[in-house]
Amino acid sequence: MSIAGEATSTAWTRGGNFISRVAESFSRGDDYFRNILDSLPTALYITDPDGRITYYNEAAAELWGHRPALGTSSWCGSWKLFWPDGRPMRHDECPMAIAIRERRPVRGEEAIAERPDGSRVAFVPYPTPLYDASGLFLGAVNMLIDVGDRRRADEYAERLSAIIESSDDAIISKDLNGVIKSWNSGAERLFGYTAEEAMGKPITILIPEDRIDEEPEIIERIRRGERVDHYETVRMRKDGGLIDISLTVSPVRTGDGRIVGASKIARDISERRRTQQQQSLLLNEMKHRIKNTLATVQALAMQTLRGASAAELSAFNARLSALGSAHDLLTLESWNRLSLGDVVAAALKPFEEQKQERVVASGFGDAWLDSTKSLLLAMVLHELATNAVKYGALSNGIGRVQLDWELDDGSGCVRLCWRESGGPPVAPPERKGFGSKLIEKSLSGVEIEYRPEGLICTWEIAL
């Protein structure tokens, strides 16, 4: 029998004589004791010597899920009965039937009752024979203790304990004074202390001296009922070695909601940090080489294009600079893709600074473009802005440029529109230069309208 079962059995033994006296008096029709039984929160019922149910209280009706007929239903009011292993149990072999047939109390048995709606409840019965003062057998009284919630709680606790113990992460609990109360095997592997060495010690044994101020701040947040999520910090092993960890701390509450401590989950992120550092070094080296390559291309072009005009050389250098700036956007976290908003902002920033914010960009939603599309978009925006400065809306003091974009979830594309206004009258060019060809060949579905009031360029990019 479980500890809870033993406690219940002990309580029944201590109060059994009283219950028996109440039931005996009730069998004589005493309304005072009927009211006592009716008010009990525990399921209780009484049978006659033949096992027919003569009384049950409201708690019993709730446990059974229906109201059996008095004087007709026998042994137990349950709709259906099952053994703990799930086998059907006949009503005449239930503990109450045994207690009546053998004239003895039955203890330590469990059963499962099925209600008419199909739901089931596990319970422990405590059937006890009843005798009057002369020793005449009157029947039996049975108390039913619902153990379903207790059993589910025990199973949940066992599963939770198994999960905690098998976790690769360090899972630790502490009280509000910072004293360690629990320590799983993951914590032993991560920090080097056994549970016996760690429990009862202050949590500060894991905190380096230069980070000791973190603990009071964490405790204060826990007292306020806050959760500390994915806090990256450094902790110290038993051997004095430092380790990078990601820390999650949550309040531990009692049943009535009082905060009595905190649970900590610590994950080793040392390998991830080393990988990030290596990737960062590699990325910086790649950026450095790309810039060196662009510088070499620029030097070769200057030598090759000696006969080109100053304007042509300036345009070429500006395009190389725009390409280099687009590469600079690629970071460790987004080497393969870039945010559309970031690409637009970086490509137009030089022109916004020159033209006193006469270039306005806005969009509904953000999108992520792969590195190739990001570089092409940056080059296209550079060409559009350069042409606007030379011939279009940015060539005077009042013209404006508006760039809008909108995501289309249905087609999986983002649509962009470059619109100029307030500049000199626009007419289609007599011949297409490098910039126009770059725009048309780089973008899919591009449409350029040379309206007198200003150039309009629309296109879409598949995400």
Judge if 16 and 85 occupy the same domain: yes
The whole domain housing 25 covers: 3-152
Same-domain status, 323 and 374 = yes
In a domain, 160, yes or no: no
Claim to verify: residue 453 and residue 403 sit in the same structural domain: yes
Contact between 242 and 211 under an 8 Å Cβ cutoff? The reply is no
Of residues 24, 21, 72, the one with CA closest to residue 51 = 72
Same domain membership, residue 283 and residue 237: no
User: Among 203, 236, 268, where does a domain finish?
Assistant: 268
Residues 187, 192, 196, 200: what is their CA dihedral angle, to the nearest 10 degrees?
-70
Do 276 and 261 fall into the same domain?
A: no
Residue 455 sits in the same domain as residue 329: yes
Question: For the chain, how far is it from start to end, CA to CA, in angstroms?
Answer: 64
Q: Looking at the structure, tell me whether residues 419 and 391 fall in a common domain.
A: yes
Look at residue 343 and tell me if it is in a domain: yes
Please state the domain count of the chain. Answer: 3
Q: Do 206 and 280 have their domain in common? A: no
- Degrees to nearest 5, angle at CA 371 with 366 and 373: 70
- Average pLDDT, consecutive stretches of 10 residues, N- to C-terminus, the chain (463 residues): 42 45 54 71 90 91 92 90 91 93 90 91 90 84 80 65 75 92 90 93 93 91 89 91 90 85 88 71 61 58 60 61 60 63 83 76 80 80 86 89 87 89 89 73 80 91 84
- Note the pLDDT of residue 201: 93
CATH number of the domain enclosing 82 = 3.30.450.20
Q: Which CATH number goes with the domain that contains 384?
A: 3.30.565.10
In this structure, the answer to whether residues 390 and 450 fall within a common structural domain is yes
pTM exceeds 0.95: no
